[in-house]
Structure 1
Amino acid sequence: MSLAESHAGQGRVPDGIPVRGRPRSEAVERSIVEGVMRLLDEGVPLSELSIERVARTAGVGKATIYRRWSGKEDLFLDVLRAAEPPEPALPGTSMRDDLVILLEAARQRGLLNRQSAILHNVFAQMKSSPRIWEAYHANVVAPRRRTLTDVLRRGRDNGELRADVDIDLAGDLLFGPMLVRTVMHPDASLPEDLAQSIVDTVLEGLHPAAK
């Protein structure tokens, strides 16, 4: 399944996906993001996705793109945000529930990566572009990590975790198994109950001792 097909339409960004910029420019920005998706679907390597080529494909001038994105890295980050499932809303009812939602989102991203050959290739190519890879980590991966840390810290403060738990280590224990299955072993099973199983297994060892 191609990147565009996975979003219900060749080269189309799904409705509701936010793109940066002034509200009155949303249609223009959407056409630019769709233009990048279209080029990726056609097999254009990431290294050849110049602003000039994107502008021609989207039917806009280069200045139109530069008014909205500072460069190729920022534009590509918004394309990836449009390609991936949106970040989940956390109910905050309990640490366990929030953790399950975060891990389920990671499972869904893993499934999408498997289903979309073009998205898989884009991530592989992105690793060869240090600037884009660093920007992706700073603007996408790091905020996800902060959200996880906030959930765990709140759980520790509420007594859902032992007071001596290392928050960073706990985050690695929780997300490690999901990353192994989605990244290191792309053929590994990703069952629907995987997020719940990982969270409950890890928390069993991190809960405060019963008094």
Structure 2
Amino acid sequence: MVDSTEGGVHAKVPRGRPRSEAVEQAIIAGVVRLLEEGVPLADLSIERIARTAGVGKATIYRRWDGKEALFVDVLRVFEEPDPELPGTSMRDDLICLLEGLRRRGLNMRSSALLHNVFAQMKALPKLWAAYHTTVVEPRRRATYEVLRRGVAGGELRGDVDIETANDLLVGPMLVRTVMRPDAPLDDGLAERIVDTVLEGLRPQP
């Protein structure tokens, strides 16, 4: 469990938690503490993280195969979990997925630390690749699967290119969350994007 306070993000380990999970939380909290102190990602060595968390380097390597995998788990501390899709319709599932992106955009705007970490991450190719492999790609595959179900169920035209449809849906949200930080991210944005895109992709009568 991670508790966010005005002083930053701190990991709290409740009593009764299994020892291995408590150790992992202590390590992640150690990385967050160093980031809050202004230590650049590139300067976060396993040795320094272990010293801050009060564990040995071997303890970290038993849980993560390197800094990149550890940092991806640290970033998850700042993000809401991926939404559980309602499964009632393709439209509802797509709105749910885009709403998750909108909330992440709001988190990015409200957290100077998170914004700074992502900016640094883009300059670290191995970390950026690890984040895409473990976080971005699964989300993209989830959208592909929803769109494929839409085609199979007749909610989308059979000739729709799934990758292009994904880009049409996700693109506007990414523009507002990444390229236009001053653009509104209001509550109805996900629904408007989905309905606008689907208007051109549904089967014609």
TM-score, normalization: structure 2?
0.93
- The answer for the alignment partner of 1:11 in structure 2 is 9
Q: What is the distance in 2 between the residues matched to 1:94 and 1:12?
A: 39
**Deviations 1:102-144, CA, capped at 9 Å, x for gaps:** 0000000000001000100100000110000011111111111
2:133 matches 1:138: yes
Higher relative contact order (Cα pairs below 8 Å, separated by 6+ residues): 1
The residue that corresponds to 2:46 in the other structure is: 51
Work out the percentage of aligned pairs sharing the same amino acid: 66
1:12 partner letter? H
Match of 2:147 in 1: 152
Once the two structures are superposed, residues 30-53 of structure 1 have per-residue CA deviations (whole angstroms, 9 ceiling, x without a partner) of 010011111111111001111111
Match of 1:85 among 65, 80, 86: 80
Q: Distance in 2 between matches of 1:149 and 1:11?
A: 34
Q: Within 2, Cα distance between the matches of 1:8 and 1:92?
A: 35
Unaligned stretches of 5+ residues in structure 2: none
Q: Distance in 2 between matches of 1:120 and 1:181?
A: 14
1:126–1:132 Cα contact (<8 Å) kept: yes
Kindly state the Cα deviation for residue 13 of structure 1 after the two structures are TM-superposed. 3.9
Segments of 5+ residues of structure 1 without an aligned counterpart are: 16-22
Structure 1 counterpart of 2:176, which letter?
R
Spell out, residue by residue over 1:8-46, the C-alpha distance to the aligned partner (whole angstroms, 9 max, x if none): 47432488xxxxxxx540000001001111111111100
Measure, in 2, the Cα distance between the counterparts of 1:176 and 1:93: 24
Partner secondary structure for residue 68 of structure 1: coil
C-alpha root-mean-square deviation of aligned residues, in Å?
1.6
* TM-score normalised by structure 1 residue count: 0.90
Contact 1:8–1:14 (CA<8 Å) still a contact in 2? no
> In the aligned structure 2, how far is the partner of 1:155 from the partner of 1:38?
44
C-alpha distance 185-106 of structure 1, shift in aligned 2 (>3 A) = same
| 1:206 aligned residue (196, 201, 204) | 201
Rounded to whole Å, the distance in 1 between the matches of 2:43 and 2:115 is: 17
Hey, what does 1:107 align to over in structure 2?
102
User: C-alpha separation between the residues in 2 aligned to 1:160 and 1:132?
Assistant: 38
